[in-house]
Amino acid sequence: MPELPEVETTRRGIAPHIEGRAIRGVTVREPRLRWPVPVAALDVLKDTTVTAVDRRAKYLLLRTARGTIMLHLGMSGSLRVVSPDTPAAVHDHVDILFEGDACLRLRDPRRFGSVLWFDAEAPLPAVLARLGPEPLDPAFDGDHLYGRSRGRRRSVKDFIMDGRIVVGVGNIYAAEALFDAGIHPARAAGRVGRARYRALAQAIKRILGEAIERGGTTLRDFTSATGAPGYFRISLAVYGRAGAPCRRCGHTLRTRRLGQRATVYCPHCQT
DNA sequence: AGTGCGGCCTGTCCGC
DNA sequence: TGCGGACAGGCCGCAC
């Protein structure tokens, strides 16, 4: 379940290995990902140079003069740079082979991830066009949340997990940020005041920012681009701690389902 | 328009 | 021990 910090950590890990290098070929062992892998489009990328590795929301964007390869890690995806003669393991679905013998390998057991392509001539694809601001961008702040939430009756947790409002806030960080800001996750988005939204936006920025800075991860099974160890888990205040005492007040943390997902919160600190 | 839910997947864990 | 079922979760697309 790569969240935004994992995706950014992955971006930083793979970029030095592939930026400025030409693609030698693409191997697709399993095209049935979240969307079908556009094998034909990828096939003609031989000798095309990846000029930059960008990120938008949880999408990794491999820029070339012809267009962009868009990678999403879904829930279980990981990217590693391996030697081209490394045998492919089960769930190693796609390889992008580069000059200089770097092989970018996508593994994704659950296949919720995706490999997409959009042509340089084509308009911005819908999946990117509808996305809200990046959480660490100055354009995202408490006033943005406040303005977009007026009249909304859905839960504030669902609201901040909506990619049209702000991107990159998954289930784990939503729970953590709401705890930090003292907001009950089931509260209607339209009934959260401006000051509390400012606290919430700051919490989102701080928590995501710290996780990115430390190159850390919330994942049990996250592997870095080189497979190197050394990644540690970010300490989480509420996620995964249902039934345990709140670190702030000692009350027992509760769990409840909200929009199909488990949410942990402190019934005393979050109102 | 806003909201909520089903579906896509497989590995892991739980109870019987 | 083996097995079925619940659960995990990002994000699209559909129905109300």
Q: Residues 182-211, chain A: which have Cβ under 7 A from strand B? A: 189-190
Instruction: Read off the tokens for A132.
Output: 């809200």
Q: Could you tell me the distance in Å between the CA of residue A142 and the C1' of nucleotide B10?
A: 38
State the pLDDT at residue A233: 55
Task: Find all residues with CB under 8 Å of A36, minimum gap 6, and list them.
Answer: none
Q: Which of A90, A105, A129 delimits the end of a domain?
A: A129
Would A137 be classed as within a structural domain? no
Task: Answer whether residue A41 shows pLDDT above 70.
Answer: yes
Total domain count, chain A: 2
Phi, psi (degrees; rounded to nearest 5) at A115 = -125, 115
A154 and A110 both lie in a single domain: no
Q: Are residues A166 and A198 in the same domain?
A: yes
A99 and A161 share one domain: no
Find the angle CA(A218)-CA(A224)-CA(A229) to the nearest 5 degrees: 85
CATH number at residue A226: 1.10.8.50
Residue A223 has what pLDDT?
47
- Residue A32 sits in the same domain as residue A121: yes
Which parts of A150-238 fold into alpha helices (H)? 156-160, 171-181, 194-213
CATH label of the domain that carries residue A65: 3.20.190.10
Q: How crowded is residue A19: how many other Cβ atoms within 10 Å of its Cβ?
A: 15
Angle separating helix axes A142-149 and A194-213, nearest 10 degrees: 130
Residues A125 and A240 placed together within one structural domain of the fold: no
Q: Hey, what are A215's tokens?
A: 């190159």
- Residue A117 domain flag: yes
What pLDDT does residue A122 have?
A: 85
Chain A 106-145 residues whose Cβ is under 7 Å from strand B: 109-112
In terms of domains, do A212 and A245 share one? yes
In this structure, is the CB of residue A112 within 7 Å of any atom belonging to strand C? yes
Amino acid A49 CA to nucleotide B3 C1' distance, rounded Å: 44
Kindly indicate the confidence band of residue A165, based on its pLDDT and cuts at 50, 70 and 90.
very high
Task: List, for residues A203-252, the tens digit of each pLDDT value.
Answer: 999 999 988 887 755 444 444 444 443 344 567 889 888 888 999 999 99
Query: Could you say which residues 54-93 of protein chain A have a Cβ atom less than 7 A away from any atom in strand B?
Result: 75, 90-91
Residues A155 and A113 in one domain: no
User: Which distant-in-sequence residues (6+ apart) come within 8 Å of A187 by Cβ?
Assistant: A155, A156, A271
Over chain A, what is the mean pLDDT?
A: 89
Task: Please indicate, yes or no, whether residues A109 and A186 belong to a single structural domain of this protein.
Answer: no
pLDDT at A172: 86
Q: What is the pLDDT of residue A182?
A: 96
| Predicted pLDDT of residue A1 | 64
Residue A270 lies in a domain: no
In a domain, A189, yes or no: yes
pLDDT at residue A235, rounded to an integer = 74
pLDDT tens for residues A8-30?
Answer: 989 999 999 999 999 999 999 99
Residue A73's nearest nucleotide, by CA–C1', is C10
Q: Are residues A9 and A125 in the same domain?
A: yes
- The verdict on residue A271 lying in a domain is no
pLDDT at A129 over 80: yes
Are A19 and A113 contained in the same domain?
yes
Residue A134 inside a domain? The answer is no
Which residues of A in 213-252 have their CB below 7 Å from strand B's atoms?
none
Rounded Cα–Cα distance for residues A136 and A145 (Å): 14
Residues A81 and A185 in one domain: no
Residue A203 lies in a domain: yes
Q: Can you tell me the mean pLDDT for A79-89?
A: 93
- The domain boundary, picked from A101, A129, A157, lies at A129
In the predicted model, is pLDDT for residue A259 greater than 80?
no
Report yes or no on A25 lying in a domain.
yes
Q: How many angstroms is C1' of B3 away from CA of A174? A: 19
What pTM value is reported for the model?
0.91
Could you list the active site residues of A? 2-3, 58, 261
**pLDDT, tens digit (0-9, with 9 covering 90-100), for A138-160:** 999 999 999 999 999 999 999 99
* Strand C–CB A72 distance below 7 A: yes
Distance A220 CA to B16 C1' (A): 28
At A256, is the pLDDT very low, low, confident or very high (cuts 50, 70, 90)? confident
Q: Which of A129, A151, A180 is the last residue of a domain?
A: A129
The separation, in Å, between residue A259 CA and nucleotide C5 C1' comes to: 21
User: Is residue A52 a contact partner of residue A69, using CB atoms and an 8 Å limit?
Assistant: no
The verdict on A70 and A149 lying in the same domain is no
Query: A180 is in which domain, residue-wise?
Result: 142-265
**Pairwise CA distance, residues A43 & A26, whole Å:** 6
